[in-house]
Amino acid sequence: MMNTENDVMIEADGLTKKYGPHTAVSDISFSCTKGEVVGFLGPNGAGKTTTMRMLTGYMPPHQGDAYIAGHHTISESMQARHKLGYLPETVPLYPEMSVEGYLEFIGRIRRIDNLWDRIDDVLQDVGLLDRAESYISSLSKGMRQRVGLAQALLHDPDVLILDEPTIGLDPAQIVEIRQIISDVGRKRTVLLSTHILAEVEQICSRVIMIFDGRIYADMSIDEIKSTGNLVSIRLANPAANTSELLERVSGVESIVQHGTNSFGLTVVDSDQVRPLVAETAVYNGWGLLEMTQENQSLETIFLTKMREAEAAGFADEQTAVILSTEEE
């Protein structure tokens, strides 16, 4: 059932998609509110693109409903598309056209008022004003991606759905596209599909994690990071049972020993756990030499959650791929 809240701009309600006997997406439900930039994160083959295609109306679900700005993407397709800008993984461009000619073509299909003003505006937004007359075939992949963003923005939509917008770009181009997405996302709702974790940390305020066609986690970036605090300690005289005793400290989730004297503790709340760890070390005469705190990287947290998903039967071996945080 459609969420009636005025600020809900994207809503998936029990979306399911099957390809023959294979269920690509299974009963997915979530919503994105006005002004949110949400990362849709998962390994290759997890169902990200299939979900986005259902949300945009490009592909009908077998079960469930999708809404854009309150409009059903199937029964109210034209109203939903008017509110939606979509950048698929493979950008739909015509290389024989100029940049402004392509945008004019798209604008006339959409029957956009004041079309040339809008073309100038979006070219300004994506940094292509000086390439307006260039043929698309002469552009680099990064500039072509900007043209794709320009067509998604041309009708000034309230919602943007971007499927792997930086895939295949060099590091400089990735930085440029990320900045553009951050800028245009300030007044829009954005759903961003990616497997590059650095993008999520730099652009998004919230993450939806999908494994094997099902949602496993839906949390803000701050919430995710707060679940994975690390406390490292170095002891002068650890005992044989030090790890065992530290594991009994309230709030300690796991312990890894590094060498003879150092221990890494994954904790729920480091502010509460550190005094308890120090007290335990003093009581047992271990000689606490050093204690430091740091947050786990999003990569570590994601891989941990992926292993949890696999253990719970969410994902199979084919989806258990290592995700990259590096600039590709």
| Rounded distance between C-alpha atoms, residue 250 and residue 264, angstroms | 15
pLDDT digits (tens, 9 = 90+) for 71-102: 999 999 999 999 999 999 888 899 999 999 99
Residue 325's pLDDT is: 36
pLDDT mean over 172-199: 88
For 261, list phi and psi in degrees, rounded to 5.
-115, -10
Confidence of residue 117 (pLDDT cuts 50, 70, 90): very high
| b/e code 236-262 from CB counts within 10 Å (16+ = b) | eebeeebeebbeebebbeebeeeeebe
Residue 170's pLDDT is: 86
Whole-structure pTM over 0.85, yes or no? no
Residue 301's pLDDT is: 72
pLDDT mean over 135-144: 94
Q: Is the pLDDT confidence value at 2 over 60?
A: no
For tokens 């109203």, what's the residue?
A: 79
Q: Which two tokens stand for residue 4?
A: 């009636």
Residue 204's pLDDT is: 92
Q: Is the pLDDT confidence value at 272 over 80?
A: yes
Q: Is the pLDDT confidence value at 50 over 70?
A: yes
Residue 327's pLDDT is: 40
Better-scored residue on pLDDT, 190 or 322: 190
- The count of residues in the chain is 328
Q: Is the pLDDT confidence value at 217 over 90?
A: no
Q: Which two tokens stand for residue 316?
A: 């199979």
Give, in degrees to the nearest 5, the angle at Cα 111 between 189 and 125: 45
pLDDT mean over 231-247: 95
Q: Is the pLDDT confidence value at 305 over 90?
A: no
Which of 26-35, 182-191, 238-247 is least confident?
182-191
Residue 195's pLDDT is: 77
Residue 227's pLDDT is: 62
Confidence of residue 5 (pLDDT cuts 50, 70, 90): low
Residue 1's pLDDT is: 40
Q: Is the pLDDT confidence value at 201 over 50?
A: yes
How high is the mean pLDDT of the chain? 88
pLDDT mean over 177-181: 90
C-alpha dist (Å) from residue 1 to 13, 18, 246? 7, 21, 48
Confidence of residue 326 (pLDDT cuts 50, 70, 90): very low
Candidates 304, 299, 306, 307; CA nearest to 325 is: 299
Candidates 204, 215, 231, 213; CA nearest to 298 is: 204
Domains annotated for the chain, with CATH where assigned, are 8-83+157-224 (3.40.50.300), 229-295 (3.30.70.260)
Confidence of residue 228 (pLDDT cuts 50, 70, 90): low
pLDDT digits (tens, 9 = 90+) for 51-60: 999 999 999 9
The percent of residues above 90 in pLDDT, for the chain, comes to 62
Cβ within 8 Å of residue 220, ≥6 positions away: 205, 206, 207
The percent of residues above 70 in pLDDT, for the chain, comes to 90
DSSP codes of every residue in 209-263: EEETTEEEEEEEHHHHHHT-EEEEEEESS--TTHHHHHHTSTTEEEEEEETTTEE
Better-scored residue on pLDDT, 259 or 297: 259
pLDDT digits (tens, 9 = 90+) for 284-301: 999 999 999 877 667 777
Residue 268's pLDDT is: 80
Residue 230's pLDDT is: 84
Q: Which two tokens stand for residue 219?
A: 């949390």
